[in-house]
Chain A
Amino acid sequence: MEVVVGMKKEKMEFDETELRLGIGSTKASEEVVRKRGFSETENHDDDDDENTTMDLMLNLSSKEASGEVDPNDKIKNLQKEKTLLPDPAKPPTKTQVVGWPPVRSYRKNMLAMQKSSTNFGDESEKNNAISFVKVSLDGAPYLRKVDLQMYKSYSQLSDSLGKMFSSFTIGNCESQGMKDFMNESKLMDLLNNSDYVPTYEDKDGDWMLVGDVPWEMFVESCKRLRIMKGKEAIGIAPRAMEKCKNRR
């Protein structure tokens, strides 16, 4: 992992020009992309208010920000993104605004509910023999897949992921560094200091913080992993933690 840190220091200046696919996208649209990352985690259990099915998108809508976000910015962001895309052939970054695409909230809720229940059905049939999940690391050009059944603990998983992503240029990582980011014992410290937050999507479609529940429970409920970085992590992690606490 030390190798990673060294490489990062040298390559930091390549951030701006680096081609990025997947979740970690151009910096200018980071904020907007954050919304996308959570589009699939519509939490319809906790809130009666229809508006919050948009989940984290509300963080950037005028509701909470009381006028901070100028909706013109959405248009500007969209236009900006068009000019930032180096190659029209690449799939364009999808922006996410309230009410787009125009699908009835009822329909969105139904599908979200069905997704989690059908997944459950599939797993019980497979007897949990294999459970490959996607792992995305913000800033990495592509995703990886790991079989969670291969590991017995969080630290084993963390070691393996570290090796997997060590060859990528991650970008800014001033503090603790990659090596510790998923170490169970240091998670709580890292939340406050680190730029990296390991999260996972559970069966219900919620994004949870890695490390809260016993390993076996984690394996059973984890559908995909996302290692979030930087500003996106701030404000998200505490919320994810709150959800975990509420569950208990």
Chain B
Amino acid sequence: MNYFPDEVIEHVFDYVVSHSDRNSLSLVCKSWYRIERFTRQRVFIGNCYSISPERLVERFPDLKSLTLKGKPHFADFSLVPHGWGGFVYPWIEALAKSKVGLEELRLKRMVVSDESLELLSRSFMNFKSLVLVSCEGFTTDGLAAVAANCRSLRELDLQENEVEDHKGQWLSCFPENCTSLVSLNFACLKGEINIGALERLVARSPNLKSLRLNRSVPVDALQRILMRAPQLMDLGIGSFFHDLNSDAYAKLRTTILKCTSITSLSGFLEVAPFSLAAMYPICQNLTSLNLSYAAGIQGSELIKLIRHCGKLQRLWIMDCIGDKGLGVVATACKDLQELRVFPSAPFGNQGAVTEKGLVAISMGCRKLHSLLYFCHQMTNAALITVAKNCPNFIRFRLCILDATKPDPDTMQPLDEGFGAIVQSCKQLRRLSLSGQLTDQVFLYIGMYAEQLEMLSIAFAGETDKGMLYVLNGCKKLRKLEIRDCPFGDTALLTDIGKYETMRSLWMSSCEVTVGACKTLAKKMPSLNVEIFGEGEQADCYVEDGQRVEKMYLYRTVAGKREDAPEYVWTL
């Protein structure tokens, strides 16, 4: 295999970038494994419990960038009790002890303590980028440590985290000689920040391209910041609340005219009615617009704004836009690739968004490949039309607010509709189902969804056959998450080898028993099979015949984890 010296092979490997490709390289032969591991700089670990931090550090001494994901996806919806796990500290500790020169850390759904952030900030001289998504466990004190100690910090990106705000001066902790910031996102912070410190920070950051503010930054400060940073490309506005007749607003309108580099706009956590007109001049440049947290914007204003956004590729909005509004999107945004429509109230606006909106979008936006759509109802006919119009879907997530609602026109389950989607969209990698569904939809998925990697199922199916169709058919399946479905032990145990080819399986409120989980765990030592209820002691599961409330299993080379709370029983 090795006709070339190592240096040449290393050089070739530099061009191989994707994680899966690099994984493949390492499997070719011992020599390539060795070369690959010493040159690998970016590692992605989709389940932090699949491998130990020590093993990671040992294998990849040249590591620069680490991405870690912790809790299972359904933790987002409060299905995983507090304290389950996903602690980042052991990772930072292991990395700090080693000679790894970490530069970038990206975490999702992990528990991050202030201690971890402090250790991180002190341990890596060249640390550049911290991205935290849906994490918890830290306060603004931890952020202060990062700001103060990371001399070459380029990126601090906090997305949708639960951060305890100590109302300290964390922003002021960026030293005066810190001029390297490229991206700063603190939109999820609830508390006040030092406005003066923010303005000075922006003033001394000539490379700042992305800035997302929280609601505590008033409009006059926003205006001054925009004056200082005309090079901004991504702007997140916190508060847009002001008197329309004021000088401040007039000044803002003028300043915005200068912001010709902005291609991504988000936020508007607080909005004054009828004030969005100030944004019209930059709408034509926008490729990304996220108004999914802008509760203060009425449907009609939203529609007016979007009419100006001809270049939009990504749009995240709330369902107050309505079916008619989606029709406007379909006319105005021909380049749209990703659409997310969120419910504006716990159960959405009654009748605001239905299958009609989605059909309109599919007719106008032929490049659409990613969809997350919360709606009140869906019909098979609509889904069949959408499948025909948009065969390029990679991600298709449909959430009908009434979880088991059938097609309202025919009172039939939505099997045929989703069947059409999987048959037409040959590149489909992610699918979330809802509405009334029988085993038939799973037969279709098993038959046609050849590229499917992640499937989310809720309140669907009739018998174990449903789950088996999926396990048998979807060869590329990596993550399967199921809640409230009548799948039981037979489905779980028929093809246990399958789970080693997947990252994880979640089953909650199904028909799986303790005994079956024990059997599975015994036969497959390479899996961790965890069962738990809601904060109960683990030993309440005494009898084998007892139904399991929640089960989460994942493949691992790290063995049983040491940090599981009492209510988690690893079999």
Contact indicator per residue, chain B 290-324, by CB within 8 Å of chain A (1) or not (0): 00110110000000000000000000000000000
Chain A residue, CB-CB nearest to B269:
A114
Q: Say yes or no: is B241 at the interface (Cβ < 8 Å to chain A).
A: yes
Does B534 interact with chain A (Cβ within 8 Å)?
yes
- Interfacial chain A residues near B81, Cβ < 8 Å: 51
Q: Please indicate the chain A residues that have their CB under 8 angstroms from the CB of B295 in the complex.
A: 111, 114-115, 118
Category for how many chain B residues contact A:
35 or more
Q: How far does the Cβ of A2 sit from chain B's closest Cβ, in whole Å?
A: 37
Interface of B, secondary structure class, is loop
Given contacts A50-B82, A51-B82, A94-B402, contact A100 B458 (CB under 8 A): yes
In the complex, what distance in Å separates the CA atom of A51 from the CA atom of B533?
A: 13
Q: Mark A205-228, 1 if CB is under 8 A from B, else 0.
A: 000000000000000000000000
Contacts of B484 in A (CB 8 A): 71, 74-75, 97
> Is A39 part of the contact surface with B, judged by Cβ < 8 Å?
yes
**Chain A CB within 8 A of B10 CB:** no
Give chain A residues whose Cβ lies under 8 Å from the Cβ of B408.
Answer: 88
Given contacts A88-B408, A118-B295, contact A107 B536 (CB under 8 A): no
CB distance from B188 to the nearest CB of A (A): 7
Contact of A88 among B79, B160, B411, B432 (CB under 8 A): B411
Q: Tell whether, in the assembled complex, residue A110 and residue B78 are in contact, meaning their CB atoms are under 8 Å apart.
A: no
B260 adjacent to chain A (CB < 8 Å) = no
Q: A53-B78, A94-B402, A114-B295 are contacts. A106–B270 as well, Cβ < 8 Å? A: no
**How distant is B547 from chain A, measured CB to nearest CB, in Å?**
8
A111: chain B residues at CB < 8 Å are: 293, 295, 344-345
At the interface, yes or no: B516 with Cβ under 8 Å from chain A? Answer: no
Residues of A within 8 Å of B345, CB to CB, are 40, 111
Q: Looking across the interface, which residue of chain B has its beta carbon closest to that of A36? A: B347
For B293, what are the chain A residues with a Cβ–Cβ distance below 8 Å? 107, 110-111, 114
A78 to B535, CA, bound (A): 26
CB–CB A101/B343 < 8 A: yes
Q: What string of 1s and 0s marks CB contacts (under 8 Å) between B47-86 and chain A? A: 0000000000000000000000000001011110110000
Mask, A114-125, CB within 8 Å of B = 1, is 110110010000
Instruction: Give the interface segment out of A60-68, A137-145, A185-193.
Output: A60-68
A89-111 residues at the B interface, CB under 8 angstroms: 91-92, 94-95, 97-108, 110-111
Task: Tell me the B535-568 residues at the A interface (CB within 8 Å).
Answer: 535-536, 549
A178 within 8 A of B: no
Query: How far, in whole Å, are A127 and B197 apart by their CA atoms in the complex?
Result: 36
Beyond the given pairs A92-B402, A94-B401, A114-B295, 13 more chain A to chain B contacts, judged by CB atoms under 8 angstroms and listed by A's residue number, are A42-B346, A53-B78, A63-B534, A78-B459, A97-B484, A99-B78, A99-B483, A100-B403, A101-B399, A102-B76, A105-B77, A108-B346, A114-B270
Q: Closest CB-CB distance, A9 to chain B, in whole Å?
A: 35
Q: Residue A32 at the B interface, CB < 8 A?
A: no
Q: Is the CB of A62 within 8 A of B241?
A: no
Contact of A101 among B241, B292, B347, B483 (CB under 8 A): B347
What is the chain B residue whose CB lies nearest that of A125?
B273
Q: Please state if B374 and A106 are interface contacts (CB–CB under 8 Å).
A: no
Residues in B with CB closer than 8 Å to A108 are 346
A148 in the interface, Cβ–Cβ < 8 Å? no
Contact with B along A32-45 (1 / 0, CB 8 A): 00001001101000
- Which chain A residue shows the least CB distance to B486? A75
**A23 at interface, CB cutoff 8 A:** no
CA distance in complex: A243, B162 (Å): 24
The residues of A that contact B77 with a CB separation of less than 8 Å are 98-100, 102-105
Q: Is A49 an interface residue (CB 8 A)?
A: yes
B549 & A62 in contact (Cβ 8 Å cutoff): yes
Contacts A50-B78, A88-B411, A103-B77 hold; do A94 and B347 have CB atoms under 8 A apart? Answer: yes
Interface residues of B in 391-410 (CB under 8 A from A): 399, 401-405, 408
- Residue contacts A-B, CB under 8 angstroms, 20 given: A50-B78, A61-B534, A63-B535, A75-B459, A75-B484, A78-B403, A94-B401, A95-B402, A99-B483, A100-B458, A102-B76, A107-B292, A110-B269, A110-B293, A111-B295, A114-B270, A114-B293, A114-B295, A117-B270, A121-B241
What is the CA–CA distance of A108 and B162 in the complex, to the nearest angstrom?
Answer: 12
A:159-180 near B, CB below 8 Å: none
Say yes or no: A99-B342 contact (C-beta < 8 A), given A106-B188, A114-B295: no
A53 to B82, CA, bound (A): 13
A135 partner residues in chain B, CB cutoff 8 A = none
Beta-carbon contact of B509 and A74 below 8 Å: yes
Contact call A101/B374, Cβ cutoff below 8 A: yes
With an 8 A cutoff between CB atoms, is B39 at the interface?
no
- Interface status of A182 (Cβ within 8 A of chain B): no
Q: Do residues B401 and A101 form an inter-chain contact, with CB atoms below 8 A?
A: yes
Contact A103 B270 (CB under 8 A): no
Q: A97-B484, A99-B483, A114-B269 are in contact. Are A106 and B160 (CB under 8 A)?
A: yes
A65 CB to nearest chain B CB (Å): 9
> Once bound together, how far apart are the Cα atoms of A58 and B353, in whole Å?
29
Confirm or deny: B494 has a beta carbon within 8 angstroms of a beta carbon on chain A.
no
CB contact under 8 A between A105 and B76, given known A39-B347, A92-B405? yes
Alpha-carbon separation in the docked complex, A94 to B269 (Å): 29
Q: Mark B520-536, 1 if CB is under 8 A from A, else 0.
A: 00000000000001111
Verify if A54 is at the interface (C-beta below 8 Å from B): yes
- Across the interface, do B160 and A107 meet the contact criterion of CB distance under 8 Å? yes
Residues of B within 8 A of A115 (CB): 295
**Residue B350 CB within 8 A of the other chain:** yes
Shortest beta-carbon distance from A104 to chain B in Å: 5
Inter-subunit contact B403/A66 (CB<8 Å)? no
Contacts of A42 in B (CB 8 A): 346
CB distance from A168 to the nearest CB of B (A): 23
Least CB separation from A108: chain B residue: B346
A19–B402 CA distance with the chains assembled, in angstroms = 21
Asked if B126 is an interface residue, CB under 8 A from chain A, the answer is: no
Say yes or no: is B216 at the interface (Cβ < 8 Å to chain A): no
For the complex, give the distance between the alpha carbons of A110 and B295 in Å.
9
A213 CB to closest chain B CB (Å) equals 26
Bound: A66/B188 CA distance, A: 35
- In the assembled complex, the Cα of A187 lies from the Cα of B536 at a distance in Å of 38
Q: Decide: A106 and B134 in contact? CB cutoff 8 A.
A: yes
A115 to chain B, nearest CB (A): 6
Bound form: Cα–Cα A195–B502 in Å: 54
Q: Which residues of the other chain, B, contact A49 by a CB distance below 8 angstroms?
A: 82
- Contacts A63-B534, A99-B74 hold; do A71 and B82 have CB atoms under 8 A apart? no
Residues of A within 8 A of B534 (CB): 51, 61-63
Min CB distance A22 to B, Å, is 12
The chain B residue with its CB closest to the CB of A81 is: B404
- Residues on B with C-beta less than 8 A from A102 are 76-77, 399, 432, 456, 458
* A44→B547 CA distance, assembly (Å): 32
Q: How many angstroms between the C-alpha atoms of A95 and B456 in the bound complex?
A: 20
Is the pair A103, B343 in contact by a Cβ cutoff of 8 Å? yes
Measured CB to CB, the closest approach of chain A to B138, in angstroms, equals 13
Interface centre among A50, A95, A102, A118 (most CB of B within 10 A): A102
CB-based nearest A residue for B485: A75
Cα A198 to Cα B134 in complex, Å, equals: 39
- Is A104 in contact with B411, judged by CB distance below 8 angstroms? no
* Bound: A147/B161 CA distance, A: 40
Cα-based distance from A212 to B458 in the complex (angstroms): 42
